[in-house]
Structure 1
Amino acid sequence: MTAKIKNNDERNQYEKLPNQQELEKELGDYLSKKYGNRIKILSPVMLPKGDVDDIDEGREFENKKTVTDFDMLPEQLEAHLDTFVIKQNDAKAVLATKICTHFNRVNYLNRLSRKKKYSGVGTIKNNVLMIGPTGVGKTYMIKLLAQKLGVPMVKGDATKFSETGYVGGDVEDLVRDLVYEAGENIELAENGIIYIDEIDKIASSGNFIGHDVSRTGIQRALLKPMEETEVDLKVAHDPISQIQAIEQFRRTGKKEKRVVNTKNILFIMSGAFGALTEIIKKRLQKQGIGFEADVSPAEIPWEIMKEVTAHDLVEFGFESEFIGRLPVIVVFDELTRDDLADILKNPNNPVIVSKRQDFRAYGIDIKFEDEALERIADIAVKMKTGARSLVSAVEKVLIPFEKHLPSTDIKQLLVTPELVDDPKGELAKLKQDYNDPERLARFERMRKKELENIAEF
């Protein structure tokens, strides 16, 4: 009797199992919620997007040239940056030179290795450390460089690292993200850029207990990837890499170890390093260079940062081995009120370009007078967040117009000094007398001047 009940229970258990279609639907719903659109369910297996022969969806780099086609010169790359980035002349020159040299050297050494004339052992990479306050264009410049070079780039935040790794994995996950950005093109990923921001937050304060131990551990975990190591794309905590391995085995019948060599991956780190000024000041005072002892760190001019040495960074809390793998140090300039105004006047600046797009989405053509941009810079400089404050300042002035004008027949908006000073008052005047001849004439003059400015750039 007991055996019969047991057999019935087993039969009922199997009858409740979902069929293949139901199982695929449940798996598909679960994976879509957890991982977005990066994977698909294709019967009889699950495949990541970009790893299927008949799926032509993928990342933008899949069909691009490889780094072996790179032939740009430092002055050409610097000229490209000049059209987008205001000030930062030293930073632009150093970054354009060292990044150009890095990729040209990669090509040169690849040619030598094909001829068996060079092993590549002992090569020193031009990894970069960028120092500068918030909102001076550090991230923007690296994105411009990666886009111009045609190489994949990933950005990580050092504050999200832990001693065990990056967002639950390890520091090598950034390399795996680079492969994804390269459209699963490993060769292209091996010549990409990894950018890590807020790097000053993982410096030890010299108190080697608690959290500082983790900070030191993060620095050490970055050492091998920054120099040269092989990163296995298959990891236990990443279901996507596991699915890729299963599909590879299904197609070929072989277990293939997919790895990424970091020898040619350029690492760029950045941070504000505010407390570093005090360390530099003390060193310069010992050397007899004139900084008064009673000057507080907040009063020290940012120019003192350009005196930074590797020893200062070690005293700041970095391991000497870590700093040794960042041979290129770039210090960005603080942005003044005039610099902010020049950024707004640059036809390529994303702040004004984005705002034009916002209004054009409603069929409204917007122009900015130079004096109005100067007034916006006056508002932004008080916020003390560099170029980031420009977005807030522009929004503060234009939100009333962005709200009300789409509901009217007004299709032209001229941003004047009067409008910046009194947005609500000027909005009322505009709605009352949109066809004011003086306003229309000013708009037409600004339209012609804008075309002239674009032609100059």
Structure 2
Amino acid sequence: MSNDITNGAAKPSRLPARDPDDFEATTSLTPREIVSELDRYVIGQAEAKRMVAIAMRNRWRRMRLDPSLRDEIAPKNIIMMGPTGVGKTEIARRLAKLCKSPFFKVEATKFTEVGYVGRDVESMVRDLMEIGVNLVKGEEAAKVKVQAEKRAEDMLLDLLLPGSRPPESGAVPGTPDAPPPPPDPASTREKFRKLWREGKLDDREVELDVAVQGGPQSEIMAIPGMEDMGFQLKDMLANVFPQKRKRRRTKVRDAYELLIQQESEKLVDMDRVMDIARARVEQSGILFIDEIDKICTGERKGGQGAEVSREGVQRDLLPVVEGCVVNTKYGMVKTDHILFIAAGAFHTAKPSDLVPELQGRFPLRVELTDLGADDFYRILTEPKNALSVQYTALLGTEGLSVEFADDALREIAEVAEEINRETENIGARRLSTIMERLLSELSFNAPDMGGQQVRIDREYVRNALADVREDRDLSRYIL
């Protein structure tokens, strides 16, 4: 049994504290540690979590082999089967975040073979590389943040007190190389520095130059299926025209953030960023291909139209999954060791409906189970960001105190299971529709109920949801 839990903790972390910049440490987690961390966000689905944990550990093992053997070991790609809302995407996303790996999710239905309107299959590798560059750039910017803040503070003081900066070493005051400073500049400058650090200058305004992109601002119309070529052409033209600077008046606190950003960009070595990002994408990138069952071709006894298009997408995916070189604006990226995780409900299809070559590139298959009332109850109670906590906090901003009784949460869980079973099974997402329906009256009247306390119990839930539970046709549209 499982659920899709985000940004919460179903159980406390059992891992020792790690340096967030230590990429090696985050990728050397044991399978047991990985599963333990995933248990904090996704309840159940033990088999799926064990499978992805082993896949990630195998990457760590591979990097410790002799290079001659290392390149021969291909990742074991995975197919996850199960209905929507049971945690397929969340497992992959949390795994990538845990291991600090570039992660990109794409729907297989966005791709088409040549001749049909859609996206180029290789575009997902370019998107993954873009994510990898931004990920590494953020890490490198964090390393120089202190230095960037110091520079930004000095530049901010220059804006507040023009000409107050002490002369550079080697320049003698009174000579042509060093303009005469104002009376006692250091003292005045340090006073302003103290006022700034105390937050007393935040609302003052200053003028500073900010970079704006020069050159033509018109949109480039790309050929359908070749949008990435249009994006690359746009980037190329942007590099041809130099950046312009525009004078802008802003508050001191906003100017400080802009200056930090500008100084960080100067301090970060983009060549190093691209090299690290490329290596990380190639060695630890994860591409999550959702709705892969939608491009299955049934019995594959020939066909035309949509059947031909779906099989064409599979054959376009094949070389990328097998391993090829994709040209991106950051250089050539090899896909040989990128981990591909495919997912789909597989209600009307099965993995064997994929073309045989693609089946062979996804040797691991795991089925995720449906959610039950017990799982829904855990979703409502265990995470720090459970829906009950979210709604209590939202209504609390109006001065309305809302308390959920335990029997009310169990009733909501039972309703979610019942509606999923009798209408359309959308997994944990059903809880959001039920909670919104349950609290719609309170949400509307909350501004007029400040200072009041409302306790939501089982009877309250039954009365609020009575109409949609009794009328199945109505529940199909509302819940």
- Give 2:461's aligned residue: 420
Q: Select which of 352, 363, 381 maps to 2:417.
A: 381
- Give 2:303's aligned residue: 208
Q: Does 1:95 align with 2:79?
A: no
2:314–2:355 contact (8 Å) kept in structure 1:
yes
- Give 1:272's aligned residue: 345
**Partners in 2 of 1:371 and 1:364 — Cα distance?**
21
Question: Counterpart of 1:259 in 2: which secondary structure?
Answer: strand
- Give 1:406's aligned residue: 447
- Give 1:79's aligned residue: 36
**Partners in 2 of 1:345 and 1:77 — Cα distance?**
23
Q: Does 1:231 align with 2:326?
A: yes
2:80–2:367 contact (8 Å) kept in structure 1:
yes
- Give 1:330's aligned residue: 366
When the two structures are superposed, what TM-score results if normalisation uses the length of structure 1?
A: 0.59
- Give 1:5's aligned residue: none
Deviation of 1:102 after TM superposition, in Å, equals 3.6
- Give 1:313's aligned residue: 351
- Give 2:332's aligned residue: 259
- Give 1:195's aligned residue: 288
Deviations 1:382-405 (A, max 9, x none): 332221111111111112112221
1:170 is matched by which residue type in structure 2? D
Q: Number of paired residues?
A: 297
1:225–1:262 contact (8 Å) kept in structure 2:
yes
Q: How does 1:23-422 map to 2 (within 5 A)?
A: 65-66=22-23, 70-98=27-55, 100-109=56-65, 112-113=66-67, 118=68, 120-164=70-114, 168-182=118-132, 183=134, 185-190=277-282, 191-205=284-298, 206=300, 207-234=302-329, 258-276=331-349, 313-314=351-352, 317-348=353-384, 350-362=386-398, 364=400, 366-384=402-420, 385-410=426-451, 412-422=453-463
1:219 is matched by which residue type in structure 2? Q
2:295 is matched by which residue type in structure 1? I
Deviations 1:324-373 (A, max 9, x none): 11111111011122222232222346534543453355455544222111
**Partners in 1 of 2:32 and 2:107 — Cα distance?**
30
Closer/same/farther in 2, CA of residues 221 and 128 from structure 1, 3 Å limit: same
Deviation of 1:219 after TM superposition, in Å, equals 1.0
2:63–2:70 contact (8 Å) kept in structure 1:
no
Closer/same/farther in 2, CA of residues 413 and 71 from structure 1, 3 Å limit: farther
**Partners in 2 of 1:167 and 1:76 — Cα distance?**
44
Greater relative contact order: 1 or 2 (C-alpha under 8 angstroms, separation 6 or more)? 2
**Partners in 2 of 1:353 and 1:225 — Cα distance?**
43
Question: Counterpart of 2:366 in 1: which secondary structure?
Answer: strand
Q: How does 1:12-27 map to 2 (within 5 A)?
A: none
Deviation of 1:119 after TM superposition, in Å, equals 5.1
**Structure 1 vs Structure 2 CA RMSD:** 2.7
When the two structures are superposed, what TM-score results if normalisation uses the length of structure 2?
A: 0.57
The gaps in structure 1 that reach 5 residues or longer are 1-62, 235-256, 277-311, 426-457
Percent identity, aligned pairs only?
Answer: 35
